[in-house]
Amino acid sequence: MAASLLRHVGQRCLWTRLGPSLSVRQWSLPMMMSIGHRGTGVAMSAGVSLFGLAALILPEQFPYYLAFVKSLSLGPALIYSAKFALAFPLTYHTWNGIRHLMWDMGKGFKIPQVYQSGVLVLVLTLLSSAGLAAM
Every domain of the chain and the residues it spans: 28-134
Residue percentage of the chain with pLDDT more than 70: 81
* Residue 19 DSSP one-character state: -
Q: Which residues contact 125 (CB under 8 A, 6 or more apart)?
A: 88, 91, 92, 95, 96
Question: Right CATH number for 28-134 from 1.10.3720.10, 2.30.40.10, 1.20.1300.10, 3.40.710.10?
Answer: 1.20.1300.10
Q: Which residues contact 55 (CB under 8 A, 6 or more apart)?
A: 62
Confidence of residue 27 (pLDDT cuts 50, 70, 90): confident
What pLDDT is recorded for position 5?
Answer: 55
Alpha helices in the chain (DSSP H): 2-17, 29-57, 62-71, 76-104, 111-134
Q: Decide: residue 23, CB within 10 A, 0-12 exposed, 13-18 middle, 19+ buried.
A: exposed
Sign, CA dihedral 55-58-60-64, equals: negative
Higher pLDDT, 91 or 28: 91
- CA–CA separation, 30 vs 118, rounded Å? 7
Confidence of residue 18 (pLDDT cuts 50, 70, 90): low
- CA–CA separation, 133 vs 127, rounded Å? 10
Average pLDDT of the segment spanning 45-53? 95
pLDDT exceeds 90 at position 19: no
Q: What is the pTM of this model?
A: 0.76
What pLDDT is recorded for position 60?
Answer: 93
- CA–CA separation, 94 vs 13, rounded Å? 39
